[in-house]
Structure 1
């Protein structure tokens, strides 16, 4: 075979192989094209717009958050802070709407945590710019704030049926919302409860608040007074009442001025406001008393050296004031129940227990003589440290438990029935 013939044979072989390759490629391509669906399944198609909407919702929340972050640094008035609160609230609502099965859920939840923290800060700032002073100061930040809060409550809700008074042990030791709920379960769904307790309130302070500061229309028909022996100790300086007597607010009341919220230009010092107070005047404390940790931070003081008890005397100015207060309340048909609030076993050492026993006996004798009720819870939970925030103050768990006890106590239910019988 000549050279030209061999060349033609080789070229033909190459062309044959190339043709077969092209044919195989085309067939395989057609097979691959047939194996792919012409369109996505209906479930995937339906899900796609949902995912797009969820992403848009998160973006809307981010936009609200950015607006809040821009407004917060320049906000100075209550109205401006309300605008910040509105935007954080809108952002939280958007983020909360992302369902658990969404791929955007984890991201949304992380942003949600930050938004909730920022909302709380904005709400506190708005509150600091919204609390009008009802009077010139009465010598105590908590008195000023509690009085303003109570007058605001009166303006919106009206006079409560039950008013809780007392010292800091009562302020954080009786939860009015829980008491109101328990009473509703007992068949009194329409009763309203407010906590007007004040740090350091002695008998003299409570008496002044009820007789001189509040008007008869602002008083309830049942008063629950929470506290303990220290508020009745006439042998020690009553510093809270001394500060009150020396205050501009005391002079204003003596001149005939009544507390009111009519002066929005007079604000409480925004740096001194207890923003954790609830709408019903209660101070919830979440801390749990752990002795080992507590006494690493604070010295353990024996009752023999506790200036709240030494010197100690039940008889004196506080007792005399109590008699005047009881007469005042009874003349107006107002029921009085005193609650001797719990103390931890760690706090009730042998020295303090002697004074507390004297006080318990005083309560029994005086209440029987003057016809008012006592609920003694002093050693209700001697070993239940989870109910205490510190050795002598309850936390919110303990406060709720006290409220549940009071809500079913015969003394409270009987007093409610007597008050209702008079009103009918």
Structure 2
């Protein structure tokens, strides 16, 4: 089978064949990065030096870049192989540097005159390595040096030098630009450290840094950027030695004394530096004790020039290897003893807010391995002190891991206690990027922010890349034999066939019901007699059912009518002014009669009322001290029950989901737009975040008039939240930001998800997925839909008078015959009362299934408000609570049974992350507060596992994680039970979220 090579490879093969005289069938070529690989084979292995001589002479007269396409970057070196046909491995291999062809020719000619072994020795001295040339700072040599590593990965390299002017008004400096191009997108973390190590190994002078730009062949924008700090290792060591770093001082002194064959050990005690000089290891025998004068002459100038911060003196010892007692000792004062500015330790300077000292201490903290820092540049720290916040950017060739640096920095800043600093904001990014990959914030003290905080800007080093990256845009290229018009025609034809198929299916279904016939059908195919019989049968059945229903309703009303006057006679006079309300849940007059005092005297204003702030009778567990909370709003449970009953959408088998969705739909119909902020989650969200308090707190922070709705659902897991966000809510009903308030138990993939399993068997679940598929597959355009609606509205307007006349005559006829028509208002009222009773029973039954510990009676009395929030005024009292409820330890808690964060809940969470990112909706997960009674050792272990899981996912730029689980472990007044907040705790959580500067609240 003949293999067709690309045009560029065909031309290369032909060129090699002409240059070497080898048949084209014996030549194979391959381009990888900046390297060209040429394999020459024959019945006998081609002679090495003769083949190379012919090839090198041809290379002197040919520019290989002409033989490749324009997208391929320059070829820096050629690998030539020789082997016999049929063999797997080549017999010889030779690397040719195209910038040293003359030296290679000289080597080959020498080899042709002498034996091969001697030629190898002579030739090795002639060829200069790319590393040696790159150390001189030549950009082409640097590119060739890097290509030795990157070409094996299929990455080609190009280098340039450009001047740039720093922001601090310093003179212009050289910046090295490395342009990497490949047919795929290499992972930045895979190439970052190898490139950084190879560049820093060169110890280039004259360059402050290097910027690496990676781009996929054919793309117009760079894939990623990387900045490499080219500060020489000696300069880095002197910078840290200047701050008194013992390890850096030891490295510098070792380099100085190594020539004297003296080994050095350094330690610091208080403000004195101790230097031990001993003879270096000598394989020829024991070395003499280091000379005192020689050591002092080498050490003292170094320490004087460094002037280490906070070190007042040094003691130098000379001793024999293995001896404990020194042979000689000398003590000397350092510059810090004469200059008070040098005497202050870096830690004391950092406590006063000195930024250079803080930068050194933070970089030393984050770079414990000095060798790694010298090889790659390490983690660089940028500081920005803004108002009462300290912003810290962690910058490295590979983005620092949040879990490894955030806790260290936070603990260190807490120890410093810098005056005026009330919080710290930590960021992480890859060197060269302007925006951080992740962020983390902690408030050291309580902060009251009156205006929104601006995002700090750290200097970006990766700018002005237009010279290296092409900016031309082009239209997508189709196949040569396929035009855009043909594609459009094909799509239209498929859509037309789909509509025709759907119409045919609907038509067949309607005809099979025998209630419809085709309008143009002939009398032979559709007999009138058969149609008349079918119509009579269906009509008779419908009439009988209507008459029977009317008769039953009439009997029910007749039985209930005599009791009406008695009810009216016992009503209090004041109740006649009360209008009946369908949202109160019970008659106001009955409530007054039940709680009226028998003494009929008004209570004193100073006396404690029998009602609490929620207008329910106070229980023994309700303390009398006041806590801050948002005012209670009108209850909406009864309204939600009615709205859910009247909804055209089938039930989801979860009463609270049906009711919350009904309230949400009513909010959309009222406001005309979705809420700005949507709170979602399980009962911890339902009771733990107060929309009214959050909206009010955001208004004080500069975000007025934000609409907030709580979509909490008892027992909701990650699967339930994913289903609601992606499948229940329409795209036009999605909010601007989502606050997911919950805890570890909602992500336990090891336990049975009862709530979601109940939803998955419902009719609403099936309809939601059918609606989703219909939305995706529908080809109806908005214009056609609008025209159809306008046409239908016009036709209805024309027939409205006829319809009204017919309707009125039918109503009059029905009224004269029906026994229940006159009492239709009473029937409606009776049905509403029965529906309310049924809804209350369902509320009690569903709440009894909760395992959160709150009493069933208190839950059944409470109701959500029109913001979807459930305000509970009960305060958790462990002494009384555990008299009524058993204390369940974590190892027996079903919520944590077989705990694992991997599985179905994790998959659902990943779907939510991808969906919100595609819709550009910020997602904030809040791990809700828990009591110390709830967090026993078993649950703490699961919480730590959940913390690690969330922190791994927090690198997503569209996702923010906030941990409040241990915010108030002993503040029982903020909780209604061990694991749920009451309305007072919800008020505090809402304020804390509003004051969080990392949450991107929407602006109206």
**SS of equivalent residue, structure 1 residue 132:** helix
Given that 2:635 and 2:866 are in contact with CA atoms closer than 8 Å, whether structure 1 keeps it comes out as no
Instruction: Check if 1:223 corresponds to 2:738.
Output: yes
Q: Which residue is equivalent to 1:132?
A: 644
**SS of equivalent residue, structure 2 residue 976:** strand
1:285-344 Cα shifts (integer Å, max 9, x gaps)? 111111111111111111122121121001111111111111111111100000000110
Displacement, 1:106?
Answer: 2.9
Give the distance between the partners of 2:873 and 2:699, measured in 1 at CA. Answer: 25
Give the distance between the partners of 1:63 and 1:108, measured in 2 at CA. Answer: 24
Instruction: Check if 1:170 corresponds to 2:682.
Output: no
Instruction: Check if 1:248 corresponds to 2:248.
Output: no
Q: Which residue is equivalent to 1:179?
A: 694
Which residue of 657, 679, 701 corresponds with 1:143?
657
Given that 1:78 and 1:129 are in contact with CA atoms closer than 8 Å, whether structure 2 keeps it comes out as no
Q: Which residue is equivalent to 2:706?
A: 191
Given that 2:681 and 2:717 are in contact with CA atoms closer than 8 Å, whether structure 1 keeps it comes out as yes
TM-score, normalised with respect to structure 1: 0.69
Structure 1 or 2, whichever has the larger Rg, is 2
Q: Which residue is equivalent to 2:716?
A: 201
Return closer, same or farther for 1:62/1:345 CA change in 2, 3 Å cut-off. Answer: same
1:70-115 Cα shifts (integer Å, max 9, x gaps)? x97xxxx949x89966x999x9xxxxxxxxxxxx9938999x999x
Given that 1:128 and 1:270 are in contact with CA atoms closer than 8 Å, whether structure 2 keeps it comes out as no
Instruction: Check if 1:402 corresponds to 2:989.
Output: yes
Which residue of 560, 564, 575 corresponds with 1:65?
575
Given that 1:167 and 1:197 are in contact with CA atoms closer than 8 Å, whether structure 2 keeps it comes out as yes
**SS of equivalent residue, structure 2 residue 688:** coil
Return closer, same or farther for 1:399/1:83 CA change in 2, 3 Å cut-off. Answer: closer
Point out where structure 2 has 5 or more consecutive residues left out of the alignment: 1-570, 593-599, 618-631, 775-827, 844-859
1:171-201 Cα shifts (integer Å, max 9, x gaps)? 0001111000000011111211110011111
Given that 2:877 and 2:972 are in contact with CA atoms closer than 8 Å, whether structure 1 keeps it comes out as yes
Q: Which residue is equivalent to 2:968?
A: 381
Point out where structure 1 has 5 or more consecutive residues left out of the alignment: 1-60, 92-103, 259-263
Which residue of 669, 681, 684 corresponds with 1:155?
669
Q: Which residue is equivalent to 1:10?
A: none
TM-score, normalised with respect to structure 2: 0.30
Return closer, same or farther for 1:295/1:106 CA change in 2, 3 Å cut-off. Answer: closer
Instruction: Check if 1:331 corresponds to 2:918.
Output: yes
Instruction: Check if 1:235 corresponds to 2:750.
Output: yes
Displacement, 1:126?
Answer: 6.0
Return closer, same or farther for 1:113/1:126 CA change in 2, 3 Å cut-off. Answer: farther
**SS of equivalent residue, structure 2 residue 909:** helix
Displacement, 1:379?
Answer: 0.3
Which of 366-375 and 123-132 deviates more? Answer: 123-132
Given that 2:640 and 2:663 are in contact with CA atoms closer than 8 Å, whether structure 1 keeps it comes out as no
Aligned pairs for 1:20-99 within 5 A: 63-66=573-576, 68=578, 78=582
Given that 2:695 and 2:707 are in contact with CA atoms closer than 8 Å, whether structure 1 keeps it comes out as yes
Given that 1:65 and 1:88 are in contact with CA atoms closer than 8 Å, whether structure 2 keeps it comes out as no
**SS of equivalent residue, structure 1 residue 373:** strand
Q: Which residue is equivalent to 1:34?
A: none
Give the distance between the partners of 1:224 and 1:190, measured in 2 at CA. Answer: 17
Give the distance between the partners of 1:144 and 1:192, measured in 2 at CA. Answer: 21
Return closer, same or farther for 1:82/1:204 CA change in 2, 3 Å cut-off. Answer: closer
Which residue of 290, 293, 312 corresponds with 2:877?
290
Instruction: Check if 1:270 corresponds to 2:766.
Output: no
Give the distance between the partners of 2:636 and 2:695, measured in 1 at CA. Answer: 26
Give the distance between the partners of 1:126 and 1:172, measured in 2 at CA. Answer: 18
Aligned residues between the structures: 327
Q: Which residue is equivalent to 1:25?
A: none
Give the distance between the partners of 1:306 and 1:229, measured in 2 at CA. Answer: 13
Return closer, same or farther for 1:161/1:128 CA change in 2, 3 Å cut-off. Answer: closer
**SS of equivalent residue, structure 1 residue 256:** helix
Displacement, 1:62?
Answer: 6.0
Q: Which residue is equivalent to 2:602?
A: 106
Given that 1:340 and 1:378 are in contact with CA atoms closer than 8 Å, whether structure 2 keeps it comes out as yes
Given that 1:326 and 1:370 are in contact with CA atoms closer than 8 Å, whether structure 2 keeps it comes out as no
Give the distance between the partners of 2:699 and 2:577, measured in 1 at CA. Answer: 42
Instruction: Check if 1:390 corresponds to 2:977.
Output: yes
Given that 2:640 and 2:662 are in contact with CA atoms closer than 8 Å, whether structure 1 keeps it comes out as no
Give the distance between the partners of 1:355 and 1:125, measured in 2 at CA. Answer: 35
Given that 1:288 and 1:386 are in contact with CA atoms closer than 8 Å, whether structure 2 keeps it comes out as yes
Using CA pairs under 8 Å that are at least 6 residues apart, name the structure with larger relative contact order, 1 or 2.
1
1:25-61 Cα shifts (integer Å, max 9, x gaps)? xxxxxxxxxxxxxxxxxxxxxxxxxxxxxxxxxxxx9
Return closer, same or farther for 1:159/1:388 CA change in 2, 3 Å cut-off. Answer: same
Return closer, same or farther for 1:156/1:128 CA change in 2, 3 Å cut-off. Answer: closer
Instruction: Check if 1:342 corresponds to 2:955.
Output: no
Give the distance between the partners of 1:287 and 1:296, measured in 2 at CA. Answer: 16
Displacement, 1:64?
Answer: 3.2
Given that 1:64 and 1:88 are in contact with CA atoms closer than 8 Å, whether structure 2 keeps it comes out as no
Give the distance between the partners of 1:83 and 1:355, measured in 2 at CA. Answer: 44
1:250-276 Cα shifts (integer Å, max 9, x gaps)? 122233299xxxxx9997853335761
Displacement, 1:365?
Answer: 0.9
Instruction: Check if 1:307 corresponds to 2:876.
Output: no
Given that 2:976 and 2:982 are in contact with CA atoms closer than 8 Å, whether structure 1 keeps it comes out as yes
Return closer, same or farther for 1:123/1:242 CA change in 2, 3 Å cut-off. Answer: closer
Which of 187-196 and 270-279 deviates more? Answer: 270-279
Which of 122-131 and 375-384 deviates more? Answer: 122-131
Return closer, same or farther for 1:198/1:82 CA change in 2, 3 Å cut-off. Answer: closer
Q: Which residue is equivalent to 2:404?
A: none
Q: Which residue is equivalent to 2:868?
A: 281
**SS of equivalent residue, structure 2 residue 724:** helix
Displacement, 1:66?
Answer: 4.6
Displacement, 1:63?
Answer: 2.9
**SS of equivalent residue, structure 2 residue 771:** coil
Return closer, same or farther for 1:246/1:386 CA change in 2, 3 Å cut-off. Answer: same
Displacement, 1:369?
Answer: 4.2
